Amino acid sequence: MNRRQFSAALAAMPFASAIRPACAQDERPATIVVGFAAGGSVDAAARLVAEHLRRTTQRTYVVENRSGAAGRLAPEAVRRAAPDGATLMIVPHGPMTLFPHIYSNLRYDPLRDFTPVSRLATYDYALIAGPSFTARTAAQLQSWARQAGNAANFGSPGAGSVPHFVGTTLAGKLGVPLAHVPYRGAAPALADVMGGQLALVVAPVADAIQLHRQGKVRILGTSGPARSPVSPEIATFREIGIDYVLPGWYGLYGPAGMQPALVAGLEQAVIRALERPELQESFRKMGLVSAPANGRALQAAQASELAMWKPVVQASGFKPES
């Protein structure tokens, strides 16, 4: 093989040239920081991704939980790390798009302080009612809310959470007042909607899908652009007459300043990992859909959503917290 043939052969192997320098040649264990407790959905997704990245790159990835402050501790830590690929972060969209509008002294800038590597997965939010709730369509929900008066309410896993503002947006789209009732997590809110103490709940589909299939709650609609493979039997908000789409997502980020070759190698490693059927099936059981997208696409989606939340939070009357 002459030099020209050798160069052509190398050019035909972009994955090998990107992955080896970016991931496999560094033998140090890499850390994936998660801003939530071990055993939760973000932690479980991160551990799956870490294991499949290990298989893809032959490098060890260790999940580190920095729980507390509603998920803010992980970005705060990762923004200070060296941009060498040894410290990464898996994070849901809220801390990267919503939090700047609800915390007045956020100690990180979601756009400037991080390098987007890849979107990992998407998921939907659900509008959930008790099993005896009769309204099914937007028109029926409007009629119910007007008749219910002060009893027209919805719960969320917490004040300032994404489901909180999904709920206020749905109320605005319906043109009816729905009082927000914040809970400490989705489980107590779902317990109250099953018991009749609460009319509606907004939460991730994964939190309610099994209860829905058991007939203990009824999911009225979901926030995706189309029916999810996780819940294909359930209509979207658009299908029931509410023009609203908001897919949730998990993203993989590193500190700002990572070299393009390093990012490209990680990006391709992630895509290969997310193409594994066993990872996709594990995600599906968690209510997630494998949805790889490169860093540029992740950054664009993040910036768009960051701008989208500002008027939503302002219209809700929510006051930024310290």
**Which contiguous run of DSSP H or E holds residue 140?**
helix 138-148
pLDDT at 179 over 60: yes
Amino acid at 290: S
Percent of the chain with pLDDT over 70: 92
pLDDT at 252 over 50: yes
What average pLDDT does range 146-166 have in this prediction?
A: 96
pLDDT of 322 reads 61
Distance CA 222, CA 228 (A): 9
Tokens of 147: 């008749």
φ/ψ of 236, rounded to 5, equals -85, 165
pLDDT band at residue 6, thresholds of 50, 70 and 90?
very low
Beta-sheet strand order (sheet of 30-34): 61-65, 30-34, 87-92, 248-255, 114-123, 289-294
pLDDT at 219 over 50: yes
Distance CA 90, CA 267 (A): 13
Q: Which CATH number fits domain 3-123+248-316: 2.60.40.10, 3.40.50.2000, 3.90.550.10, 3.40.190.150?
A: 3.40.190.150
pLDDT band at residue 25, thresholds of 50, 70 and 90?
low
Distance CA 133, CA 141 (A): 10
**What pTM value is reported for the model?**
0.89
Choose among 30, 58, 57: nearest CA to 46: 30
Distance CA 195, CA 144 (A): 19
Give the number of other Cβ atoms within 10 Å of residue 29's Cβ: 11
* CATH number of the 125-240 domain: 3.40.190.10
β pairing state of 125-129 and 218-222:
antiparallel
Tokens of 246: 């908001």
Distance CA 105, CA 216 (A): 41
pLDDT at 22 over 60: no
pLDDT of 320 reads 82
pLDDT band at residue 9, thresholds of 50, 70 and 90?
very low
Distance CA 113, CA 160 (A): 22
In this structure, are residues 222 and 125 in contact, taking their beta carbons and an 8 Å threshold? yes
φ/ψ of 258, rounded to 5, equals -65, 140
Tokens of 137: 């369509």
Choose among 26, 100, 44, 103: nearest CA to 266: 26
Decide if 3-123+248-316 and 125-240 have a common fold.
yes
Average per-residue pLDDT for the chain: 92
β pairing state of 179-182 and 153-156:
parallel
What does the pLDDT look like over 100-127, one tens digit per residue?
999 999 999 999 999 999 999 999 999 9
pLDDT at 13 over 50: no
pLDDT of 27 reads 76
pLDDT at 137 over 60: yes
Domain ranges of the chain: 3-123+248-316, 125-240
Length of the chain: 322
